[in-house]
Amino acid sequence: MILLIDIGNSRVKYALLNNVNTQHIENIHSIENQHFNHSFINNLCVVDNQVSQVIVASVANSEIVDPIAEYCIDHHISYTEVKSERCKNGVVSGYQIPEQLGVDRWLAIIGAQQRYAQQNILVIDAGTATTFDLVDNTGQHRGGWIFAGITTLYNTLLQNTAHIKAETKRDIELSFGLNTTDNVNNCCWAATVGLINQAILQAERELGAVERIIITGGNAPALTTLTNVEMVYIEALVFYGLQQYIT
């Protein structure tokens, strides 16, 4: 059994694979960072699943990563922490300093190229940040954008404006609001949709045509309903990237 772990700023996502070459990674689980402790790791790796290899990607600090590595060493489990690099499996980073590209973006690029090889691809990761990465049909990363995610946009506006008072709401829409809560929430979504449309135009200027637009991240399902653009939602995109590091 192989355990793939994606550690974000607030939550850990993980998936267990029986088959190294599985084409469909499902049953992705999520837990808050503070609950991903030694006992939880032990239950995942030994008690339930007899894990033989652990592959980790993290954008969080080392406080959550180091115990996983130590656990694997103590229990003779193969351990790999993935870092962004110059190239992997035909994908070439466009960053002048490849290590500065976020590992979550790097893995999403690899995962996208693995699923749709030899196509021009725009990868959108809509989470705490909304990121865009363009990959051409040779596997060359052509750069990207980083924007605030929906919740980050909302919180930043309220934290930095004394007289704007709003509440979060569950309904997602783009209409002009008749109260401040609707004004703020709807505009955060509208700004992101507008940026997606602009990213597609920019990608087409640079590559001529984009065969595939792939979106992942917590806000992705909602965004696919708000645009007229055909986007492929892949929840496990980062995990398809992690899968490429199985030894």
Q: What is the pLDDT of residue 121?
A: 98
Taking the C-alpha atoms of residue 117 and residue 115, their distance in angstroms, rounded to an integer, is 6
Residues 72 and 95 occupy one common structural domain: no
Task: Among 32, 50, 81, identify where a domain stops.
Answer: 81
| Token pair listed for 93 | 């980073």
pTM of the model: 0.93
Cβ neighbours of residue 241 closer than 8 Å, sequence gap 6 or more: 57, 106, 107, 108, 109, 110, 111, 114
Range of the domain at 33: 2-81
Asked whether residue 205 is domain-assigned, the answer is yes
**Most confidently modeled of 11-25, 33-47, 152-166, 186-200?**
186-200
Residues 213 and 96 occupy one common structural domain: yes
Going by pLDDT thresholds of 50, 70 and 90, the confidence category of residue 48 is: low
**Percent of the chain beyond pLDDT 90?**
74
Residues 23 and 123 occupy one common structural domain: no
- 202-222 pLDDT per residue, tens: 999 999 999 999 999 999 999
Say which residue the tokens 């466009």 belong to: 94
Residues 126 and 102 occupy one common structural domain: yes
Whether residue 136 is annotated as binding a ligand: the answer is no
Residue 161 has pLDDT above 90, yes or no: no
Residue 63 has pLDDT above 70, yes or no: yes
Whether residue 133 is annotated as binding a ligand: the answer is no
Question: Among candidates 238, 3, 247, which has minimal Cα distance to 114?
Answer: 238
Q: What is the pLDDT of residue 160?
A: 78
Whether residue 104 is annotated as binding a ligand: the answer is yes
Whether residue 51 is annotated as binding a ligand: the answer is no
Helix axes 150-159, 180-207, angle to 10 degrees: 130
Are 13 and 29 in contact by the 8 Å Cβ rule? The answer is yes
Task: Among 81, 98, 126, identify where a domain stops.
Answer: 81
Residues 179 and 231 occupy one common structural domain: yes
Q: What is the pLDDT of residue 10?
A: 82
Residues 135 and 42 occupy one common structural domain: no
Whether residue 74 is annotated as binding a ligand: the answer is no
N-to-C CA span, the chain:
12
Whether residue 6 is annotated as binding a ligand: the answer is yes
Task: Among 81, 107, 126, identify where a domain stops.
Answer: 81
Asked whether residue 247 is domain-assigned, the answer is no
**What pairs with residue 108 in β-bridges?**
none
Active-site residue list: 104
Residues 95 and 209 occupy one common structural domain: yes
Residues 21 and 143 occupy one common structural domain: no
Whether residue 13 is annotated as binding a ligand: the answer is yes
Residues 98 and 192 occupy one common structural domain: yes
Whether residue 165 is annotated as binding a ligand: the answer is no
Taking the C-alpha atoms of residue 103 and residue 109, their distance in angstroms, rounded to an integer, is 10
Whether residue 125 is annotated as binding a ligand: the answer is yes
Q: What is the pLDDT of residue 47?
A: 65
